[in-house]
Chains A and B, each alone.
Chain A
Amino acid sequence: MRLIGRVIQNLKRRFRKSSHHGLGLLVFENTSEVIRAEQILKKEGCDVSVKGPPPELRKGCDLVIEFQLVEELRVRCVLQKQGASILDVVPLNSELLQPVDIFQTRDFGDYLMVRAANMKITVDKQSTMIVNISGGGCPDVPYLAQEMVGKKLQDAPTPRDIGHTLCGYALQLAYEEIQQQC
């Protein structure tokens, strides 16, 4: 059943990729708000994904949330209840930039490293302790490293909760991938 569910989801995604009709964008002031809103909406079961804004969109930050326009009312309602403020809602007219979805894994024996885009996370395989975070260029990277290194994967704050930028979001993807692999 799980497999069938995944196949249906993939087919839906493929269909959505080939057509922008019926899709809208939620625009936020900064990346932290996007990350928080995505978390809230996914928890509520909304079909959303994080994308790069189209070049013609001149407001907001470097991430937007793509959603089914037909669900606008529900989406607004869910976010309003949680105190998340949307800057704007716009219909989607063109292809959006896709976040990176390629992971590179390197096994160092006792340690495992996962890279997503420009971010790398390394974990001690036995203890699941995060031993290093590297890469990136946005100012929350040193902050995330400061807060996460030296803690076990399950105990560390997640980049989704304390990160603010695209580098933070890339680290979240690497973090989720390494969690699956450990």
Chain B
Amino acid sequence: MLIIVGTVPDPNLGLLIGKSALKSRCLTVEKTDIPIQRGTPALIASACKVCEVFGAEQPLAILAGDIGLGHGSRELYAYLTEHIREYLFSTIVFHYLQPDVDWHCRVLFALQEMQQQPTLIADAGFMYAAKMSGYAGEYDLFTPDIGELAFLADENAPHPFYTRGFILHEQNKVQDLISRAYQHKNAARNLLIKGATDLIVSGGEIIKQVNEPVVEALEAMGGTGDTVTGMTAALISSGLGITEACTLAARTNRLAGKLANPTPASQVTDIIEQIPTALRIKNRQDT
């Protein structure tokens, strides 16, 4: 089973735990409807679409409302520290949480006490905390975009906001940024770097590149990185290896984008709708 941990921009939503279900363009968790715009709901919705295609169990969502003040995130951190060992799951993905190094470590240590070690995936705020904690290497997969890769490469930056200019300017030297991130132990064992060309990295080496089809509008659209991470997590949970899952998710996301024919003003739900079709096409091509 896949567990997805993240926040929803609703200050009135407390802790919400339950199986995810997609109804039309709305996500439902434990009888609560959650709009899918971007962020963790977009990640969950794309994972649900993959599970639907593979006939897999729908992901378990562990969510809390948070609009940036950190209350919901802290509630999540506290719950996970106390209860995560009670769940049976193979893969867990952490997403939009207020970065907090101390709480991050408590959650990681709780996970490490489990008998069966799950596949650990981190993105967004939780990935920032994982990098700053010095335990990035304990994770199986980070899914940064190119700007966040620069942050991972900057050993002094506590947040992408403080990435030093000379590192940001190295955007064309992606391999240098990757090497630097690994040299300072600020990268997970594998990376899926989302960008104009998606890069799949293992142990510091680029082992796959995905750059077709080109859908330029995706760069401007909120949530298109979340969909890649959601699909990757669901594919790993369904039994694919990390490299295969990253490659298939990156290809599927691009194709879903192409099928949706978006403009920079399109919303991510248009892409999510196309995931099953894109996944079936890609799966057929790959077999």
Contact = CB atoms under 8 A, between A and B. Distances in A.
Interface of A: 30, 32, 52, 62, 97-102, 106, 108, 110-111, 113, 115, 117-118, 120, 122, 124, 131-146, 149, 163-170
Contact of B162 (A98, A113, A140): A98
Contacts, number: 158
B263 interface: yes
Residue among B67, B160, B161 with the most chain A CB within 10 A?
B161
Contact of A134 (B70, B162, B224): B224
A111 B165 contact: no
Contact of A111 (B66, B158, B265): B265
B148 A138 contact: no
Nearest to B66: A139
Interface in B263-284: 263-265, 267
Given A117-B163, A138-B99, A106 B127 contact: no
Contact of B99 (A100, A131, A137, A140): A137
B128 A137 contact: yes
B286 to A, nearest CB: 28
Contacts of A141: 38-39, 68, 96
Interface stretch (B24-32, B54-62, B172-180, B213-221): B213-221
Q: How large is the interface on B (under 10, 10 to 19, 20 to 34, 35 or more residues)?
A: 35 or more
A141 B216 CA distance: 22
Contact of A118 (B147, B158, B220): B147
Interface in B115-160: 123-128, 145, 147-148, 151, 156-160
A132 B161 contact: no
B265 A122 contact: yes
Given A113-B219, A117-B147, A139-B66, 16 more contacts: A62-B158, A97-B162, A101-B165, A111-B220, A122-B220, A133-B222, A134-B223, A137-B148, A139-B7, A139-B68, A139-B70, A139-B98, A142-B40, A142-B96, A149-B37, A166-B161
A11 B264 CA distance: 40
B22 interface: no
B263 to A, nearest CB: 7
A110 B216 CA distance: 13
B158 A97 contact: yes
